[in-house]
Structure 1
């Protein structure tokens, strides 16, 4: 009977295991131990190898699909699991943010979750629906405030909802819906934590969200958390790890994903490939994302895909081509897409303009790049986003290579003056 290792050798043909591992973004030493039977194969390795070989047989050999990575100790979800999940969420106290008036108003009164627990009532669908509505309101709040302005607000909501999961009384069906709501809150909290520069906290929140979504039977929600983690890893960690996470998210969502959800997951996969300098795979993922988005039916989509528009899909394409240093492709896309954004969305507009400025610089358009960078700088000062600040600093470094040209020197002076007047800005 053919073993897992035998199948890998057969599919590899004359290609070395080291080459296979590099192509599948896996650890070569660990893969060798699996092939020799020293270590058991995991769904993650089988899925990555299937992707590299263009088959589905390795995952099938170990029994199941890539979704198996999201099982919860192979057992049903129990009350003590809820208690453990709540403990994970409460493990770290959020740091105080510099939230604006709207964010402070959100925190003035206890959320309805707290009242339900205090009253000792058995909660029902209406309570869960209120929680879900509040999650969507928080998403919209985050559209207008950066991560430093929403971090405390979102994490406080998450703590209150975790308390509801832990202490309230509810049916199994309501418990599953509550877990799905917590998974959505975890993804949002992870997103704003990452935007505020709290990367370790974001990773914990995303992974907890994967666990909660899977327990609630929401594979696309688990995939959204996992691909969000991939996006963070691609930006601050090893892009090869990001590719594995993003691939797992696409596979894990499976047929339960709507076309819009699939487009979102594929966009993040394309970004991971671009950061890993895999141009061909990045382009294929972009094409697949475009195709999925063209098939979308908004009525079927989960609420967390509301922000994915045609402009956002195009901007990701422009960012990918900028990352791959192909400005002739990037500049027209980014110019067209950013034209639809105004200064009211300070964080997004600032971030997207930095990519346009970088692609213009790659094309040798120093003056236009500096002009675009200047606008991005002005917006970043009020965006409350560590990501936006970091991108402007990257532009400063890139334009610094052209010191001695009037445009680059003017931007450097503008940057210095802005930082001197901004208490939170780096010098």
Structure 2
């Protein structure tokens, strides 16, 4: 027992409520706008860990709540493009999840870290983190967690050119998702719905198509378009940043098969969403799209696409 004011279930519920609020703000507005506020809340929550009195059961619940808040703080910091700070927050949150004995939440934090490593171009490390999450939570992960990790595995295998492994993992993700019951999933897994599954696997097919110079490229691209289109159909209205990524994914898939008109149309929608969501990650993806369109720059539509990206992102 620690010296200090006693903490109870109402305090832990308050931390969860604050976490839900910031998670919603992140989905709607991106990480830049509310990052400082969530960091301040994280500092207050950590102060409770060091000063409050609690028994073992309450302590575990408290550490788990703080870890979940930390996962949101780390994610928003990552989304704001502050990568070193985000890594430190993720590690702190992972330690809290370990203290709580919450292996499922630990797996969630590891997948956040894996996405950051992929964003930074460290693809082998991203795949290693997914494998670590899968192993660590093998007896505790919910169906949604297992499906999500397999979907990410598919995406990272595709990036590394391991097409067969990517397709195997995608199939596993779809099979695992069939067992998901949203009512039985923790709050931190609410984001992984059918839309997110479709988007993640759709991007894996897009990447495989980009690296495929056989007649199979068109088939992979078509599957990517189907899945990303399905993701957009299913996205809740408040998932604004996710919609921007979906449209960017569609634009990049169109470019993969030389469909410049489709790429331009999807890019224009993504740019409109970028202007209302504060996300450095979306800006980075737009910059990548700008570079990918360079081989088509002689076409007026591609030149317009690149100019629009430069105007909005630089502005």
Structure 1 length-normalised TM: 0.68
Query: What residue ranges of structure 2 are gaps of 5+ in the alignment?
Result: 210-219
Shift of residue 350 of structure 1?
Answer: 1.1
Q: Distance in 2 between matches of 1:153 and 1:308?
A: 25
Query: Looking at both structures, which has the greater relative contact order when contacts are Cα pairs under 8 Å and sequence separation is at least 6?
Result: 2
Q: Distance in 1 between matches of 2:236 and 2:194?
A: 16
Q: Distance in 1 between matches of 2:26 and 2:159?
A: 26
Report the 3-state secondary structure (helix = DSSP H, G, I; strand = E; otherwise coil) of the residue aligned with 2:152: helix
Aligned length, in residue pairs: 305
1:398 lines up with 2:292 in the alignment: yes
Contact 1:234–1:275 (CA<8 Å) still a contact in 2? no
Report the 3-state secondary structure (helix = DSSP H, G, I; strand = E; otherwise coil) of the residue aligned with 1:123: coil
Q: Distance in 2 between matches of 1:343 and 1:124?
A: 35
Rg larger in 1 or in 2? Answer: 1
Contact 1:342–1:349 (CA<8 Å) still a contact in 2? no
Q: Give 4+ residue runs of structure 1 displaced > 6 Å after superposition.
A: none
Partner of 1:389: 283
Alignment of structure 1 residues 164-243 onto 2, 5 Å: 164-243=48-127
Q: Distance in 2 between matches of 1:184 and 1:267?
A: 22
Shift of residue 319 of structure 1?
Answer: 0.5
Shift of residue 335 of structure 1?
Answer: 2.2
Query: What residue ranges of structure 1 are gaps of 5+ in the alignment?
Result: 1-77, 80-116, 420-424
RMSD: 1.9
CA distance 1:413–1:272, shift in 2 (3 Å): closer
Partner of 1:273: 157
Contact 2:194–2:234 (CA<8 Å) still a contact in 1? no
Report the 3-state secondary structure (helix = DSSP H, G, I; strand = E; otherwise coil) of the residue aligned with 2:271: helix
Q: Deviations 1:385-404 (Å, cap 9, x if unpaired)? A: 01111111111122222122
Q: Distance in 2 between matches of 1:303 and 1:409?
A: 43
Contact 1:234–1:242 (CA<8 Å) still a contact in 2? yes
Shift of residue 412 of structure 1?
Answer: 3.0
Q: Distance in 2 between matches of 1:225 and 1:299?
A: 21
Contact 1:318–1:333 (CA<8 Å) still a contact in 2? yes
Shift of residue 344 of structure 1?
Answer: 5.6
Structure 2 length-normalised TM: 0.91
Q: Distance in 1 between matches of 2:253 and 2:57?
A: 50
Q: Distance in 2 between matches of 1:298 and 1:162?
A: 30
